[in-house]
Amino acid sequence: MQGNAPLGRKIHWGAHYEEPHADSVFSSLNHEILFNPDLLKEMLSAESAPAVTRRKSLAKKPAGISILDGSRAQNLAIVMSKMKVSTEEFCQNLKELNFSEECMSPDDVELLIHVLPTAEENKKLIEYKDRVADLRDVEQNVMPFCVLHKGVVRMKVAKFALSHVTMYQAVKDRCEVLKLASEQVRTSVQFREMLGVVLKVGNFINHGVKEMVEGAIRGISVESLSSLASFKTGAVSTMHFLCLSFMSKDFNFFQDLKVSMSHVHEASKEKFVLLKGSIEAFASEVEMAKRQLLMLLDEDDPELEIGEEREAELRLVISEWVKEKEDLHEAGEEAFKACCESQKYFSISDRAQADPNASEAFFVHIASFLDLFQEAWLEIQRNPRKWDDFAEKAGLQLQREKRRSLPVMTQVNSDGRSTESATGSTTLARRSLRRGDSAMQARPSQRRLSTRDSVSRRPVAFVASLSGGDLPPRSEVASICKQITRSLLNSVYSAVAQKRLDCPAVNLRRGSS
């Protein structure tokens, strides 16, 4: 069929097709379906079609003039992206000598000092200070540092101003640890008791004497303490003997010893040479920052935008730095003096104290001895039966950790005699809970009757024992009252056991009846 195209263009159907036969899909189509040609014309006609706007191509922003090479520019971009404020604001704070943690951090300042443009690069960048917009983004951001007067000096002062408190406190704490450890080794009661026993052990093993007699050793070196662990027979060492001796006296002896020597291990890790170097390094940092800040304050710089009040505050900050330096020097002297006094207290000669390595080794030897003592102590705790035999043969009774238990009960038999039991009738209740009630389910009636008889007989038998007609003597009243109290408690525990017997059997492991 030929005709005009109402929309001015045609649909190209593509390949030809054969004439549909009677069984094709086209013969079954519904030709009365709703079709509105006017709507089709309105939607697809050229006059009603909306104007098609083409996307405008965005012109690529010019990169700008590059002064720095690729790697230098990348490093600068990474460092400046981590700053808390823009480079303009950062440099303005440096110009005003405002070292606020809200605007900068010591890490930011240190990184910037290492990546700032060199003198040659700075000279090339300064040529574009009046045409900053023509530069690349990185060069634009770094320009405030190039025009800042004595920027590196200001940043070094800022770095120390932001970090001096942390540096001072860290070194001061190290000195305090040495002072505390020196005091502890001199004043620890437990450590002094151990040294006394060690001295007796050495005299007995070497000379066969039990007391301090003429010719016996009266002192030992701290480096010899660890030899107690190596002097052994089989798996039993002299260190185990030391632990058993104190464990028979006080089960918490080792815990008290650790508390009394709490700073010794930390002091054993300290290097005296490094500590002295840290004190001297802090003093050098103070002098350098003081000299640089005074130079910035005293010079006639028209760009120094600070007032008299701010200048007075900065001079006060300088005096605080000097005070910290003096305080740290004094703390170091006190710490080293305390260490020397502790070594003298342990009979270490002045000649040996002059060696820095010997001073460091003093706490190392004591810490090693405490570690070996702890190892032996814990070994005895893990296997107490093995060591009970040694203690019993020596006539010692090892102290155990006290456990909470029920009060001692007094059971009264039908003949009036009383027998003490640590758990009383509660043993039946506890055992029945652990056994899973298998025996109770087998013969419940017989067990209930026997338990009821025992519960009812105990208080009655006890009262019958008192029915003599005459009042007991006053001296026996306290003992009788104690028996009555125990009997009542025994009855309560028996009632609890009876209540348990009357309830349905419960498998406590599985939580089901």
**Residue that is last in its domain, among 113, 148, 183:** 148
Which range (45-59, 126-140, 412-426) has the least confidence?
412-426
Between 234 and 263, where is the model more confident?
263
CATH number for the domain spanning 100: value is 1.20.58.630
Q: Are residues 307 and 188 in the same domain?
A: yes
Backbone angles phi, psi at 28, to 5 degrees: -100, 5
How many Cβ atoms are within 10 Å of 177's Cβ, its own excluded?
20
The reported pTM is 0.62
Distance between CA atoms of residues 303 and 154, nearest Å: 13
pLDDT > 50? residue 428: no
Confidence (pLDDT) at 163: 93
- In this prediction, residues 10-25 reach a mean pLDDT of 60
**Residue that is last in its domain, among 384, 403, 422:** 403
Confidence (pLDDT) at 213: 60
CATH number for the domain spanning 249: value is 1.20.58.2220
3-state secondary structure of 420: strand
Q: How confident is the model over 129-138, as pLDDT tens digits?
A: 888 888 888 8
Q: Are residues 165 and 77 in the same domain?
A: no
Q: Are residues 368 and 441 in the same domain?
A: no
Q: Are 149 and 155 in contact (CB under 8 A)?
A: no
Q: Are residues 378 and 438 in the same domain?
A: no
The two tokens of residue 361 are 């080794």
The two tokens of residue 76 are 């600068």
Q: How confident is the model over 249-278, as pLDDT tens digits?
A: 888 899 999 999 999 999 999 999 999 999
Which range (249-253, 298-302, 397-401, 472-476) has the least confidence?
397-401
Q: Are residues 354 and 447 in the same domain?
A: no
64 occurs within a structural domain: no
Q: Are residues 245 and 380 in the same domain?
A: yes
38 occurs within a structural domain: no
Q: Are residues 421 and 484 in the same domain?
A: yes
Q: Are residues 323 and 435 in the same domain?
A: no
352 occurs within a structural domain: yes
Q: Are residues 177 and 143 in the same domain?
A: no
**Residue that is last in its domain, among 356, 386, 403:** 403
Residue range(s) defining the domain that contains residue 498: 409-502
Q: Are residues 300 and 337 in the same domain?
A: yes
Tell me which H or E stretch contains 232.
Answer: strand 232-233
* Cα 504 to Cα 340, 499, 507, distances in angstroms: 74, 10, 10
Q: Are residues 294 and 365 in the same domain?
A: yes
Q: Are residues 171 and 304 in the same domain?
A: yes
Between 324 and 246, where is the model more confident?
324
61 occurs within a structural domain: no
The two tokens of residue 394 are 């020596």
pLDDT > 50? residue 447: no
The two tokens of residue 513 are 């009846």
